[in-house]
Amino acid sequence: MPFRIIGYIGKPIGLKGKFCISDPRLDAQALRSLKYVYVGNDTDPEEVHDIRAVETRGRRLLLLLDGIGTRKQAESLLHKSLFISEAQMKDFADEHEAFRYEGYEVLQNGEVLGTVSGRIELPMQEVLVITTGNGKEVLVPFVGEFILSINDEARCFYVKLLEGMLDED
């Protein structure tokens, strides 16, 4: 069964097993609509956990999973990936804009730069997550200055990025 990464387990908060989600690919509302998530390394989900609570604190997104009830248990999961299955994603893709464009190709001047792998809603603007051919993630503001057009039929984004936005670190 194919899976999608929706974020990574970040630092624990408090003593009861709650943790921050780093690089979240879903907003709090989308997470609350899920019943469970998978936890694992890189591309391999290893275990499934029911979602007990989703919280926002400022710009941080916090998650509490069933079976993770202590800070020590949360620390043991630090940097692991959070996944949902493709079937879960399809169940709510139409309702949650975050997944509407996943898999679309991103082109600039006819050259394929990568594919859309997510969308992040920040307080001031939305950001498109583009994964390049070598696996690097690039964040592009979801505004007209960078996103020239979207072709839903061809499943393509046409962009104009600033020089250096795709440079390797």
pLDDT of residue 168: 56
pLDDT of residue 134: 85
Average pLDDT for consecutive 10-residue bins of the chain (169 residues)?
86 95 82 90 89 88 95 95 83 59 90 87 81 87 90 91 76
pLDDT of residue 91: 64
| Domains of the chain, earliest start first | 3-95 (2.40.30.60), 101-159 (2.30.30.240)
Q: Please write down the HEC assignment for all residues of the chain.
A: CCEEEEEEEEEEECCCCEEEEECCCCCHHHHHCCCEEEEEECCEEEEEEEEEEEEEECCEEEEEECCCCCHHHHHHCCCCEEEEEHHHHHHHCCCCHHHCCCCCEEEECCEEEEEEEEEEECCCCEEEEEEECCCCEEEEECCCCCEEEEECCCCEEEECCCCCCCCCC
